[in-house]
Structure 1
Amino acid sequence: MSAAGWFIVLLALAGANLPFLNQRLFAVMPLKAVKKSVWLRIAELIALYFVVGAFGFMLEARAGNRFEQGWQFYAITFSLFLVFAFPGFTFQYLVKRR
């Protein structure tokens, strides 16, 4: 795998965990509420999936060999993005804090 491929995988790992590791919207804008709701985190996760995907397509087109993808590709990559989000989800919702 090329360096660009590993970069996209690491970017996806960071992007999938970003909604769960902070209380800001896209890690930039502070919210007035004390905690983000789970629905806002899911919406942020979906938006970051599209951002990472667009960045991946940009790198692929820049390399000169962009391939058309079917719905199967998007189903698998979104499922992989959800698997990448598991550590952040576990930290936010399953780890008991005192």
Structure 2
Amino acid sequence: MNQTLAVWILIVFSVAAANLPFLSDKVFGVLKTSNPAGKSGFLVCAELLVMYFVAGLLGFAFESALSNPFLLGWEFYAITLCIFLVLGFPGFVYRYLLK
């Protein structure tokens, strides 16, 4: 796998992972909740945070496979979390603002 393909796979996965908590009433798209009204806001935030870590692990796996991984500080993780939240904005709009 070359670097360009790895970057595109990571971008597409990140967009899908950031929008999944908002587009599905099931937890991680698989588990049904006991609440008939759907997922709570806390559960959506927790699911979004877990998906952020999964996307980060996928990115780290790609980086490790293609080159030597770099040591990253807290600033990198703060910025990537903000970018991940921005990627999830279309799902937020669909779930809370359009309905």
Q: TM-score w.r.t. structure 2 length?
A: 0.92
2:61 pairs, out of 51, 58, 63, with 58
Structure 2 alignment gaps of length 5 or more: none
In 1, distance between residues paired with 2:94 and 2:21? Answer: 11
Moved more, 61-70 or 48-57: 61-70
Identity, % of aligned positions? 45
Alignment correspondent of 1:25: 27
Q: How does 1:48-87 map to 2 (within 5 A)?
A: 48-87=51-90
> Runs (4+) of structure 1 moved beyond 2 Å?
none
1:10: Cα distance to partner? Answer: 1.0
Task: Measure, in 1, the Cα distance between the counterparts of 2:18 and 2:40.
Answer: 16
Q: 1:30: how far off?
A: 1.0
SS of the counterpart of 1:2?
helix
Deviations 1:16-63 (A, max 9, x none): 000000110100111121210111000000010001101110111011
Q: Count residues with an aligned counterpart.
A: 96
Q: Paired residue for 1:88, among 83, 86, 91? A: 91
1:4 aligned partner, one-letter code: A
Aligned Cα root-mean-square deviation (Å): 1.0
Query: Gaps spanning 5+ residues in structure 1: where?
Result: none
- Structure 2 distance, partners of 1:61, 1:29, is 32
TM-score by length of structure 1 reads 0.93
